[in-house]
C-alpha cells in the first residue's frame, strides 16, 4: 500500500491529527456533559432540534458537536436522530459508575492550564499547575471550595467500580483488622467490610476528610469500624492485620512514598500484608490507559505511575517484599506485599 506525504498534495491524518485536535475533542466532550445531553438521550433517539430545545442550546452547533463525538463512538447518528452508544452512556448522571464528574474535572480549566505548562515542565521538572496557579494542587483545592467539590465528586465516581473490582481479586482474611491508610471517605473500607463480615476496620485520613465518611450511615457495619485522623507521613495506626493504600502512592515522588511506606512498616510486624491499589504500567511499551494518567501526575502533582519493578524497589527500601501483582477489571491493579 502506498504511503502519502504532505508533498503528495494530500493532507496528513491518522494519529498526528488525532493528537493535534485532541483539545477540540475534549472541549466538545465537556460541552455535552455540561448540557446533560446524554441524560436527554436515555429514553431513546432524538434529533438535534429536540435536544437543543430541551437543553437550552442551539440545534445547528449542537448537531455538529454531536457529529464529532459520534466519530469517536459516543453517539451514533441514524436517520437524522442521535443515539447514545454504550460508551456514551457513561456520561449519564443516573447510571452506576457515571463518568460525567470525572469528565468535567479532567476537562476543567485547572487541567487545561496545567497541560499548557508541559513545555516548561520538560525543562524544569516542576508541575505546570504550580506555575499556572502559584500554589500546589491540593493546597489550591483547600482554598477553592467549588474546585474541591468537583475533585471529590470525580474521585467518588471513579472509585465506586474500582472498589468492587479490588475485592473481586483479593483474598480477604476471615478475621482481624484492616487499616485503610489515606482511605478518604471510606469507600474501599466499606466494600471490604461488607465482603468480609469477620473483619473490623480503621479509616485513617485527615480529620476533615474522615468527618464526611460514607460508613456512619451503614447499620450493618455498626461497631465494626472506627475513624482516626492523622498524618500518614508521620505515623499510621498500629496492630492491623491488613493495610490498604489506594491511589495514594501515585500522588507522590519516590522520597515521599518511602516516608508513607516506612510509616506503615513501623506500625506492622513481619508477615503483615499490605495491598497497594494503583495502576501498574507495563515495562515493554504496551498501551495502557494509565500512561495518560502518568502525564496528569507530571503536570499537576509530583507523583507518577509505576511499573511492577519500580513498586518492588520502593517496597523493598521500606521493608516490604512484593508478593504479586493482581490485575483488575479497572485501570488499577493490586500490588500485594508483605512486611519482612
State yes or no: is 25 an active-site residue: no
Return all residues near 301 (Cβ < 8 A) that are at least 6 apart: 127, 129, 136, 137, 251, 252
Residue 146 Cα distances to 150, 151, 294, angstroms: 6, 9, 25
Catalytic residue numbers read 250
Amino acid at each position: 500500500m502506498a504511503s502519502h506525504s504532505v508533498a503528495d498534495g494530500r493532507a496528513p491524518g491518522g494519529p498526528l491529527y488525532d493528537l493535534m485536535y485532541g483539545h477540540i475533542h475534549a472541549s466538545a466532550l465537556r460541552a455535552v456533559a455540561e448540557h446533560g445531553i446524554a441524560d436527554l438521550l436515555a429514553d431513546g433517539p432524538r434529533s438535534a432540534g429536540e435536544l437543543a430545545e430541551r437543553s437550552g442550546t442551539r440545534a445547528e452547533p449542537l448537531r455538529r458537536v454531536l457529529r464529532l463525538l459520534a466519530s469517536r463512538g459516543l453517539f451514533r447518528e441514524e436517520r437524522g436522530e442521535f443515539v447514545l452508544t454504550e460508551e456514551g452512556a457513561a456520561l449519564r448522571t443516573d447510571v452506576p459508575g457515571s463518568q460525567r464528574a470525572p469528565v468535567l474535572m479532567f476537562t476543567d480549566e485547572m487541567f487545561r492550564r496545567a497541560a499548557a505548562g508541559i513545555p516548561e515542565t520538560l525543562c524544569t521538572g516542576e508541575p505546570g499547575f504550580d506555575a499556572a496557579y502559584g500554589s500546589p494542587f491540593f493546597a489550591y483545592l483547600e482554598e477553592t471550595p467549588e474546585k474541591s467539590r468537583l475533585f471529590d465528586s470525580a474521585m467518588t465516581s471513579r472509585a465506586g467500580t474500582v472498589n468492587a473490582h479490588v475485592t473481586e481479586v483479593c483474598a480477604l482474611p476471615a478475621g482481624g483488622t484492616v487499616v485503610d491508610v489515606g482511605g478518604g471517605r471510606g469507600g474501599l473500607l466499606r466494600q471490604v467490610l461488607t465482603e468480609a463480615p469477620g473483619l473490623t476496620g480503621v479509616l485513617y485520613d485527615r480529620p476533615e476528610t474522615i468527618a464526611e465518611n460514607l460508613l456512619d450511615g451503614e447499620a450493618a457495619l455498626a461497631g465494626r469500624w472506627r475513624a482516626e485522623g492523622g498524618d500518614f507521613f508521620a505515623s499510621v495506626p498500629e496492630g492491623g492485620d491488613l493495610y490498604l493504600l489506594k491511589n495514594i502512592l501515585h500522588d507522590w515522588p519516590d522520597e515521599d512514598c518511602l516516608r508513607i511506606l516506612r510509616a506503615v512498616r513501623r506500625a506492622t510486624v513481619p508477615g503483615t500484608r499490605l495491598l497497594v491499589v494503583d495502576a501498574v504500567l507495563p515495562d515493554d511499551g504496551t498501551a495502557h490507559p494509565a500512561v495518560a494518567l502518568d502525564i496528569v501526575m507530571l503536570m499537576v502533582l509530583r507523583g507518577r505511575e509505576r511499573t511492577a519493578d519500580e513498586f518492588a524497589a520502593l517496597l523493598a527500601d521500606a521493608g516490604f517484599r512484593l508478593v504479586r501483582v493482581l490485575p483488575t477489571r479497572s485501570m488499577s491493579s493490586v500490588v500485594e506485599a508483605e512486611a519482612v
